């Protein structure tokens, strides 16, 4: 077999995985920054404005990295997946074009005003620029999820004479049932990242006794939103997404659980899938739990992977299984950490509970891992198809682009992204070390909005 | 419907070239026009609030191209694999350069990011020109509508072309000089003092050079591709386009001489627009010309079905009206000359 398809996959997987570290942080921080600004306006409290300003800086850095690493994504549909693009462009081109037209223009117009315009705008106008950026970021997320959802569960299309597909229902594409749950689940996941990062910086400030007052605000906002979103990730959104899988990709669901034989199924907590023998090594299983989760019946039969032809099996069952279990395991831990922190916060003891602050401070990488694992679950689960049930991955890559050329650019991206990662960590570390008080304070302009040129 | 979308995409692409063109041009001249840190900050400040929005026109155009002409998107992006990846890297470097230059107030840091930004912009201009040159020259499309171009072969315009040959390099140089003039005109509008004067001199020097280069490139185009004038002969009004190209360059020079700053900038934008219109006029209804004409992609053999086009038109009109409103708002917010002292600037 020509290995070109593997290199094309690796190319996309690497660039999209690296890319999504940044949008999940910006999409997660956006509502929190708006919340800080809103509280600041509500209470007329400068502390919250200062907090919003600090987090807007982190947001801004992350946003630029998201833009920079995002440009290659749209291009790669054409460069690396040209046969897929030719086949499906008439459908998914719509959502990608709408992302540019509706979301990117909005974000690009208001981001500069939001980050640098606080002194020129009234407080209310500046709040609105924050809302616009928040809305743009989340809208952009919707168009991308709708694009992926169509690949997971193709709807609203019809075949054309040359064997491609074209759009047959605009609203059908935008309101794909898969997209609705996937979007809700994904955005909750991004918000968990934002909440953990904010709480981690807060815990760091409180533990290191620097900027303690600000640190307490970050802890408060991070933990409260962390509870909310870590619960939302699990139910109803995670549950809804699971039902999507049961309905539309039962083979993927069986592989995620390494559930080989059709029977009453337990929930595998730990264990290594043994694909050769169709069993799980070293299993730790909650009996009957999977049956209940899928059909709300402890004794329901769950269709096993063996009942599907092997040509329909996801191509990397072990990785799929681990990705899924890492996501679910971490999601459970997030809920526990945030609930315990919430209880301590409510009892006004969080700031003195050192061990918990340490946990919060050190947990910030975990949501990035969980979100990445979640996307790996979705994309590896979709294999061997590029468009589920319609087009196999092997048929979608750019056959005119040789493996050597893809290696060349993959190595280029590896080098470039290593430098970008160092730059990002350096810039963010620097902002955290300087702290929120280093951000210059704002001279309020009073009632009227001053929206005018410089001269 | 096909012609309408062809026109829409051409207009969006022209909008992209004019808008991002001035910030790329300003970037290419950045090191040479900005002598002091303050002047370099002024140049960056003049494009800082708008460059990102300008670049979104590229993504929006790409997206529309994708759903209207999926075959064109697939063929051209995979065929231009290597140069497009290089363009991506340049776009990334440029963005990093401009966005993080102001983050740390340190001479070495600033110089490094100035360099990245300027070199990235300069090479980007050359690659864009070369890309247009490739399309005009024709591409080795096969019967399956696909092709793959190496970066270069023997630098001649033959049956086995590379992305770079003498003709496309010439196009790249034309683009670099054209965008530099455009960028210089923009800096003239947005600055005062020494920087304004230096940018004006740059524009006055480069405009005659661009005039000559455009003539040479026109002659070269007709010599390698005589069939390119077919559409012009079929509908003779097309011959007005090259006249307008050269007239707008003369206008740049005259207006810049007479210190009509905005008029000079607009004339430069018109030059770019007429150049693109000229290319599009010669190609229509072909959208990706093959060296063997029977394999060329045309509007009719690349377009998606009509429902998608109709529904696309509806949301596109809504979206583009909103986007234009943002642009009017944004450019009004940041109108006028750049002053470094005072508040609220971009990136400091």
Query: Measured between beta carbons, which residues in chain A are less than 8 angstroms from residue B47?
Result: none
Distance CA A211, CA A406 (A): 48
Of the partner residues A90, A168, A453, the one whose CB lies closest to the CB of residue B335: A453
- The angle subtended at Cα B20 by Cα B19 and Cα B24, nearest 5°, is 130
Of B231 and B251, more confident = B251
Distance CA B322, CA B331 (A): 14
Selected residue of B9, B20, B49, B74 to mutate for chain A interface (largest A Cβ count, 10 A): B74
Of the partner residues A88, A113, A405, the one whose CB lies closest to the CB of residue B82: A405
Q: Which residue has the tokens 């999504």?
A: A20
- pLDDT for the residue B248: 96
Q: What is the mean pLDDT of residues B247-260?
A: 95
Check CB contact of A119 with chain B, cutoff 8 Å. yes
H or E element at residue A268: strand A267-274
Q: Which domains does chain B have, with CATH numbers?
A: 2-333 (1.20.1630.10)
- The angle subtended at Cα B175 by Cα B169 and Cα B179, nearest 5°, is 150
- pLDDT for the residue B348: 39
Q: Which residue has the tokens 């400068």?
A: A46
Query: Measured between beta carbons, which residues in chain A are less than 8 angstroms from residue B55?
Result: 108
> B312 has which bridge partners?
none
Selected residue of A400, A410, A445 to mutate for chain B interface (largest B Cβ count, 10 A): A400
Check CB contact of A417 with chain B, cutoff 8 Å. no
Q: What is the pTM of this model?
A: 0.92
Nearest-CA distance B336 → chain A (Å): 6
Check CB contact of A449 with chain B, cutoff 8 Å. no
Q: In the A/B pair of chains, how many CB contacts fall below 8 A? A: 234
Of the partner residues B74, B319, B327, the one whose CB lies closest to the CB of residue A85: B74
Asked if B295 and B142 touch (Cβ cutoff 8 Å), the reply is: yes
- The angle subtended at Cα B313 by Cα B331 and Cα B235, nearest 5°, is 90
Query: Measured between beta carbons, which residues in chain A are less than 8 angstroms from residue B66?
Result: 74, 77-78, 85, 89, 92-93, 96-97
Q: What is the mean pLDDT of residues B45-68?
A: 91
Check CB contact of A106 with chain B, cutoff 8 Å. yes
Distance CA A56, CA A40 (A): 14
Of the partner residues B75, B89, B347, the one whose CB lies closest to the CB of residue A416: B89
Distance CA A148, CA A378 (A): 9
The mean of the pLDDT values for chain B is 90
- pLDDT for the residue B232: 87
Contacts of A133 (CB under 8 A, 6+ apart): A30, A107, A110, A111, A114
Nearest-CA distance A96 → chain B (Å): 6
Judged on CB neighbours under 10 Å (0-12, 13-18, 19+), B219 is: exposed
Are A398 and B81 within 8 A, CB to CB?
Answer: yes
Please determine, for residue B53, whether its predicted confidence score (pLDDT) is greater than 50: yes
pLDDT grade for B341, boundaries at 50, 70 and 90: low
Are B319 and A85 within 8 A, CB to CB?
Answer: no
Are A96 and B315 within 8 A, CB to CB?
Answer: no
User: What DSSP letter does each residue of B286-331 carry, written as one string?
Assistant: EEE-BSSGGG-EEHHHH---HHHHHHHHHHHHHHHHHHHHHHHHHH
| Measured torsion, CA atoms of residues B27, B32, B35, B39, in degrees rounded to the nearest 10 | -20
pLDDT tens, B3-30?
999 999 999 999 999 999 999 999 999 9
Check CB contact of A164 with chain B, cutoff 8 Å. yes
Selected residue of A53, A105, A135, A414 to mutate for chain B interface (largest B Cβ count, 10 A): A105
Cis? peptide before A236, omega within 30° of 0: yes
Check CB contact of A16 with chain B, cutoff 8 Å. no
pLDDT tens, B176-225?
999 999 999 999 999 999 999 999 999 999 999 999 999 999 999 999 88
Of the partner residues B55, B88, B344, the one whose CB lies closest to the CB of residue A116: B344
Are A100 and B63 within 8 A, CB to CB?
Answer: yes
Of the partner residues B60, B147, B338, the one whose CB lies closest to the CB of residue A100: B60
Query: Measured between beta carbons, which residues in chain A are less than 8 angstroms from residue B77?
Result: 75, 77-79, 82, 85
Query: Measured between beta carbons, which residues in chain B are less than 8 angstroms from residue A15?
Result: none
pLDDT tens, B106-124?
889 999 999 999 999 999 9
Distance CA A151, CA B148 (A): 27
Nearest-CA distance B178 → chain A (Å): 25
Asked if A221 and A198 touch (Cβ cutoff 8 Å), the reply is: yes
Please determine, for residue B343, whether its predicted confidence score (pLDDT) is greater than 80: no
pLDDT tens, B296-335?
999 988 888 889 999 999 999 999 999 999 999 888 888 8
- pLDDT for the residue B339: 77
Q: What is the mean pLDDT of residues B139-153?
A: 88
Q: How far, in Å, are A66, A325, B295 from residue A23 at the CA level?
A: 5, 23, 41
**CB contact burial B182-200 (16+ within 10 A = b; e otherwise):** bbbbbbbbbbeeebbebbb
Are B78 and A104 within 8 A, CB to CB?
Answer: no
Query: Measured between beta carbons, which residues in chain B are less than 8 angstroms from residue A72?
Result: 85, 88, 92
Mapped onto helix, strand or coil, the DSSP state of residue B257 is helix
- pLDDT for the residue B284: 87
Asked if A27 and A190 touch (Cβ cutoff 8 Å), the reply is: yes
- pLDDT for the residue A445: 32
DSSP state of B116: H
Low-confidence ranges of chain A (pLDDT < 70): 1-2, 438-455
Judged on CB neighbours under 10 Å (0-12, 13-18, 19+), A51 is: buried
Asked if A28 and A195 touch (Cβ cutoff 8 Å), the reply is: yes
Which residue, A357, A361, A370, is CA-closest to A328? Answer: A370
- pLDDT for the residue A2: 54
Selected residue of B12, B67, B94 to mutate for chain A interface (largest A Cβ count, 10 A): B67
Cis? peptide before A384, omega within 30° of 0: yes
- The angle subtended at Cα B121 by Cα B117 and Cα B125, nearest 5°, is 175
């Amino acid at each position: 077999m020509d290995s070109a398809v593997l290199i094309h996959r690796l190319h996309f997987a690497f660039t999209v995985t690296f890319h999504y570290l940044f949008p999940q942080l910006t999409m997660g921080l956006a509502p929190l920054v708006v919340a800080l600004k809103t509280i600041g306006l509500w209470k007329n409290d400068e502390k919250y404005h200062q907090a919003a300003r600090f987090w807007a800086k982190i947001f801004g850095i992350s946003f630029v990295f998201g833009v920079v690493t995002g440009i290659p994504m749209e291009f790669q549909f054409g460069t690396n997946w040209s046969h897929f693009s030719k086949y499906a462009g008439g459908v998914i081109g719509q959502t990608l074009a709408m992302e540019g037209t509706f979301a990117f223009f909005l974000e690009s117009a208001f981001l500069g005003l939001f980050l640098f315009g606080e002194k020129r705008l009234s407080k209310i106008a500046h709040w609105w620029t924050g809302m616009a950026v928040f809305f743009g970021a989340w809208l952009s997320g919707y168009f991308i999820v709708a694009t992926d959802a169509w690949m997971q569960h193709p709807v609203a299309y019809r075949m054309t004479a040359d064997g491609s597909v074209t759009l047959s229902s605009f609203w059908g594409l935008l309101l794909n049932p898969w997209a609705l749950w996937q979007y809700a689940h994904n955005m909750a996941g991004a918000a968990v990242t934002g909440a953990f990062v904010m709480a981690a910086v807060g815990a760091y400030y409180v533990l290191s006794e620097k900027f303690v007052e600000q640190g307490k605000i970050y802890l408060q906002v991070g933990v409260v939103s962390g509870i909310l979103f870590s619960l939302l990730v699990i139910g109803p959104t995670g549950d809804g997404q699971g039902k999507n899988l049961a309905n539309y990709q039962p083979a993927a669901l069986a592989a995620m659980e390494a559930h080989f034989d059709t029977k009453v199924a337990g929930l595998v907590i730990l264990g290594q899938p043994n694909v050769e023998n169709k069993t799980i090594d070293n299993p730790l299983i909650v009996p009957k739990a999977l049956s209940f989760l899928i059909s709300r019946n402890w004794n329901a039969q769950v269709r096993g992977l063996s009942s599907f032809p092997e040509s329909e099996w996801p191509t990397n069952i072990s990785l799929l299984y681990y990705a899924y279990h890492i996501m679910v395991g971490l999601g459970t831990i997030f809920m526990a950490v945030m609930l315990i922190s919430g209880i301590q916060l409510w009892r006004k003891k969080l700031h003195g509970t050192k061990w918990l602050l340490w946990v919060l401070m050190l947990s910030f990488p975990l949501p990035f891992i969980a979100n990445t694992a979640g996307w790996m679950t979705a994309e590896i689960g979709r294999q061997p198809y590029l468009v589920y049930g319609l087009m196999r991955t092997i048929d979608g890559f750019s056959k005119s682009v040789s493996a050597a050329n893809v290696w060349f650019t993959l190595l280029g991206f590896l080098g470039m992204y290593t430098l970008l990662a160092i730059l990002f960590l350096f810039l963010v570390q620097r902002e955290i070390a300087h702290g929120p008080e280093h951000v210059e304070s704002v001279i309020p302009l009073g009632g009227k909005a001053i929206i005018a040129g410089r001269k | 419907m096909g012609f309408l979308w062809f026109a829409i995409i051409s207009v969006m692409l022209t909008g992209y070239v004019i808008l991002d063109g001035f910030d790329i041009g300003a970037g290419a001249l950045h090191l040479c026009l900005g002598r002091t840190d303050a002047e370099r900050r002024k140049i960056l400040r003049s494009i800082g609030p708008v460059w990102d929005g300008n670049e979104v026109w590229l993504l929006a155009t790409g997206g529309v191209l994708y759903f209207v002409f999926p075959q064109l998107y697939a063929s051209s992006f995979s065929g231009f694999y290597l140069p497009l990846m290089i363009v991506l890297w340049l776009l990334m470097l440029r963005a990093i350069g401009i966005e993080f230059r102001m983050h740390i107030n340190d001479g070495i840091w600033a110089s490094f990011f100035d360099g990245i930004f300027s070199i990235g912009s300069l090479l980007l201009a050359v690659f864009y020109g070369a890309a247009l040159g490739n399309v005009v020259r024709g591409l080795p499309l096969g019967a399956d509508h696909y092709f793959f171009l190496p970066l270069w072969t023997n630098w001649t315009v033959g049956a086995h072309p590379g992305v770079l040959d003498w003709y496309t390099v010439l196009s790249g140089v034309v683009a670099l000089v054209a965008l530099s003039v455009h960028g210089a005109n923009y800096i003239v509008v947005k600055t005062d003092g020494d920087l304004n004067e230096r940018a004006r001199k740059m524009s006055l020097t480069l405009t005659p050079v661009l005039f000559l280069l455009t003539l040479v490139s026109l002659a070269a185009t007709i010599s390698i591709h005589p069939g390119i004038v077919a559409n012009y002969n079929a509908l003779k009004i097309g011959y007005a386009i090259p006249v307008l190209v050269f007239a707008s360059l003369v206008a740049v020079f005259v207006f810049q001489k007479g210190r009509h700053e905005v008029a000079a900038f607009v004339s430069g934008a018109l030059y770019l627009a007429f150049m693109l219109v000229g290319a599009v006029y010669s190609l229509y209804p072909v959208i990706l010309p093959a060296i063997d004409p029977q394999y060329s992609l045309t509007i009719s053999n690349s377009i998606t079905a009509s429902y998608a086009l109709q529904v696309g038109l509806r949301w596109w009109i809504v979206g583009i009206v909103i986007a234009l409103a943002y642009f009017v708002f944004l450019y009004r917010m940041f109108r006028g000359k750049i002053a470094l002292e005072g508040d609220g600037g971009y990136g400091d």
